[in-house]
Every structure is written in C-alpha cells, then in structure tokens.
Amino acid sequence: MKKLFADAKIAPPTDGMTWNEVFALAQSLKSGKDKDAVYGFSFNTYGGGVSFYDAQNAYGGSSKMRIFDAAGEKMTVHTKAWADAWSKPIQLYKDKVIPRQEDMQPTASMASGDGSFAYNLYQGNGFIGGKIAMTVGSYYMVNDLINYNNNVSKMKDAKALDWDVVTAPQVEGGDVSGLYLSNLASINAKSANPDDAWAFIKHLNSEDVAKFKARSQGELSVRQKFIKPKDGANYHIEAFTNVKAYSGDLNEADQQLYLERPNLNLVSELGGYLFQEAADGKKTIDEALAEWDRKGNELLQKIKQNPKGDLSAELQEYRDAAQSGMKNILRAAAGEAVAE
C-alpha cells in the first residue's frame, strides 16, 4: 500500500528482495496500536497470524527444509536451520509487525455487525482496509484491487487504493516459489481416438484460445504477448513473470514415500501445532523443535509399521489444545475476557 510507505517516509519494496529483506522492511512500517495500528506485513489478506507452512515456504519449502530423512525413519528438524526459519516470522508475530487473527476480526465485525453500513465483499481484508503495508497474494488479487477501486464510490467511507506489485520474496539463493499450472490436458495412452484428442489439445493451446483466456480474472497466459495490465490499470505486471521460479514441492522419491505411507502427513501436522505453541509463547522455539523431533521419531516408527491405518489418536492432545486456542481467539475478538 503506497500511502503507508509515503506516510512513514520509507521507500517501498522493490523487485528481487529476499524474505529477510521484506521482514526487515515490515518492521520499519509497524506503527500505532489498537484501532490505529498499522502492520508491516501479512502472509494473507484476510485474517492474520503466521503458520508453520508460511515459515517453511519462506525458507525454501519442503524440498529445502526437510522434516525427516529420505527413508522416512529419522527426524531432521532439531537444527539451527529450522530454528532460524521459525525465529523471524515468530518474532514479527509477537511484535505485532504481523497482525494476529484477533487484530483483523474487529474490522470484519464492525463492517456488518453495528448496522452503520452495508456488508461489502472486502470487509476484513487488512490490506484493502489500509491496515497492512505489504502482503503476498496470487495474480487473482489484482482483480480484487481493480474491482475495489472501480466500486469505491459505492461503499461508505471507502477510499481508493494506491497500490502496486513487485516480485514475490526470494529464498536465499535467488529463486521464487509459488508457480502453479492449471487446466493441463493429457491423452489416455489407451485412447480409442488419439488423433481427435491431439486435435483438441492443439486447439486448447492455440493462439485464439490463449487470446480468449487472457481475459481470465485469475490466471496469466503462458503467451507473453497476452500478459497485459487489466482494465487499463497501471501496475508492474512484469513482477509476475521476470523471476526464476522453483518448486518447493517434494521430489519424486519423497512423493512415492508419501504414497506408500500417507500417515507421514501426521508428522507435518504435528509441526504445525508445535509451531503455533512457539508463536503463542507457550514453548520456546528450541523446546518446540525438540518435542517435534522426539514425538516425530516416535511417529515415524509407528507409521513404518502402520503406514495407512488410523493413527489419528496420536495427535488428539495437540488437536484439542489447538481448538481451545482458536476459541480463545474468537472470544478475544469479541471483546470477552480470556483466562490464561
């Protein structure tokens, strides 16, 4: 949000920044408190908070931040690399550079609960509401921003936004995650009509279809000539295409391991609960990682013996604690006292 940077007399972000540079910039933008608070950054536009997956993706995704070894038998998380990946996002969350969930909830409640003005599609969106200086969003978010400005006169007390985009933050090493391909077509090897199928795929990938699909509200064309700003808007659309993308996803061997042992997903789920406990100050980062390492190793052995059976009871204690924490967030957002 350009206005927040101008008000703070701070230069806005630029292409090619790393996550650590974005986090440092976010710290300089935080100001005010309560209803006048301005937050430097958010991983999402609706709500607030920070998650295990946010931290993991900021530091390279599952391909670079391994949870366990290639055999799926030993945890690899009680390390300095994992501690570093957790420490910065958690500290920003504790310092309210990143808003908490309850910080954003009152905005949504006031927008429709007090009867002063009608519901609008963007209530609770901290970025559009001018509460968050920077956020990470998909190409579809451009459509939201343009639509908002086109309809701002219809919304009481709403103000037009001065916004722009830069490249997504890079992991250390210079690559950007977040590339997704959709609507891919393939032909069954046993197709009775392969020639017709090939003709259809050729049509799907033709220039005529690409020109039509370039009007899409949420996706970029693979043809550079059709990648243009929408509806006459002026923004840095090259930010979506002038980066070197990488996949933070699992390699083929790891994907096969997860197919053979789907219960391995429980280990990531466990990490999510312990990350949140560290973020909420219930455990230190080292304590949380140590518990993930210990409990995770126990889980890995049980999963090896029972790769597809019901092991959900292993995490019930953590699920119950997380559910209780969410109830407290909702109570706090509603202005109720919450006992610790």
214-267 pLDDT, tens digit per residue, is: 776 677 888 888 888 887 889 999 998 887 766 656 788 999 999 999 999 999
SS3 sequence of the chain: CHHHHHHHCCCCCCCCCEHHHHHHHHHHHCECCHHHCEEEEECCCECCCCCHHHHHHHCCHHHHCCCECCCCCCECCCCHHHHHHHHHHHHHHHCCCCCCHHHHHHHHHHHHHCCCCCCCCCCCECCCCCCEEEECCCCHHHHHHHHHHHCHHHCCCCCCCCCCCCCCCECCCCCECCCCCCCCCCCCCCCCCHHHHHHHHHHHCCHHHHHHHCCCCCCCCCCHHHCCCHHHCCCCHHHHCCCCECCCCCCHHHHHHHHHCHHHHHHHHHHHHHHHHHHCCCCCHHHHHHHHHHHHHHHHHHHHHCCCCCCHHHHHHHHHHHHHHHHHHHHHHCCCCCCC
Write down the pLDDT at residue 329: 58
Q: How confident is the model at residue 174 (pLDDT cuts 50, 70, 90)?
A: low
Q: Which of 4-18, 67-81, 99-113, 262-276 has the lowest mean pLDDT?
A: 99-113
Write down the pLDDT at residue 331: 57
Write down the pLDDT at residue 339: 53
Which are the contacts of 298, defined by CB distance < 8 A and separation ≥ 6? none
Q: What is the CATH number of the domain that holds 42?
A: 3.40.190.10
pLDDT at residue 140 above 50?
Answer: yes
Mean predicted confidence (pLDDT) in 55-65: 76
pLDDT at residue 177 above 90?
Answer: no
Which are the contacts of 154, defined by CB distance < 8 A and separation ≥ 6? none
For 108: left if phi > 0, alpha if psi spans -120 to 50, otherwise beta; the answer is alpha
* Residue whose C-alpha is closest to residue 94's, from 270, 273, 269, 283: 283
For 304: left if phi > 0, alpha if psi spans -120 to 50, otherwise beta; the answer is alpha
Write down the pLDDT at residue 328: 60
Dihedral angle over CA of 107, 112, 117, 119, nearest 10? 100
Mean predicted confidence (pLDDT) in 173-181: 66
Check residues 184 and 325 and name the one with the higher pLDDT: 184
Give the percent of the chain with pLDDT over 90: 53
Domain assignment present for residue 180? The answer is no
pLDDT at residue 111 above 50?
Answer: no
Q: Which of 44-58, 99-113, 311-325 has the lowest mean pLDDT?
A: 99-113
Between CA 290 and CA 78 the distance in angstroms is: 6
Last residue of a domain, one of 154, 169, 192: 154
Residues 281 and 143 in one domain: no
Residues 140 and 271 in one domain: no
Write down the pLDDT at residue 149: 92
Residues 281 and 146 in one domain: no
Write down the pLDDT at residue 33: 87
Residues 137 and 269 in one domain: no
Residues 150 and 258 in one domain: no
Q: How confident is the model at residue 212 (pLDDT cuts 50, 70, 90)?
A: confident
Q: How confident is the model at residue 327 (pLDDT cuts 50, 70, 90)?
A: low
Domain assignment present for residue 294? The answer is yes
The CA-atom distances, in angstroms, between 248 and each of 130, 178, 220, 266 are 31, 8, 20, 19
Domain assignment present for residue 87? The answer is yes
Q: Which amino acid belongs to residue 59?
A: Y
Domain assignment present for residue 164? The answer is no
Between CA 315 and CA 295 the distance in angstroms is: 10
Write down the pLDDT at residue 112: 47
Write down the pLDDT at residue 171: 81
Q: How confident is the model at residue 184 (pLDDT cuts 50, 70, 90)?
A: confident
Residues 147 and 290 in one domain: no
Q: Which of 7-11, 19-23, 184-188, 276-280 has the lowest mean pLDDT?
A: 184-188
Q: Could you tell me the residue range of the domain that residue 33 belongs to?
A: 2-154
Q: How confident is the model at residue 82 (pLDDT cuts 50, 70, 90)?
A: very high
Domain assignment present for residue 270? The answer is yes
* Residue whose C-alpha is closest to residue 295's, from 277, 258, 321, 268: 268
pLDDT at residue 117 above 60?
Answer: no
Domain assignment present for residue 32? The answer is yes
Domain assignment present for residue 218? The answer is no
Last residue of a domain, one of 154, 187, 211: 154
At what angle are helices 285-305 and 80-94 packed, to 10 degrees?
120
Q: What are phi and psi of 120, to 5 degrees?
A: -130, 155
Kindly report the pTM of this predicted structure.
0.84
Tokens 């243009």 identify what position?
Answer: 228
Query: Based on the structure, what is the number of domains in the chain?
Result: 2
Between CA 224 and CA 204 the distance in angstroms is: 17
Between CA 313 and CA 41 the distance in angstroms is: 36
Domain assignment present for residue 81? The answer is yes
Between CA 187 and CA 189 the distance in angstroms is: 6
* 8 A C-beta contact, residue 9 and residue 28: no
Residues 150 and 279 in one domain: no
Last residue of a domain, one of 154, 178, 209: 154
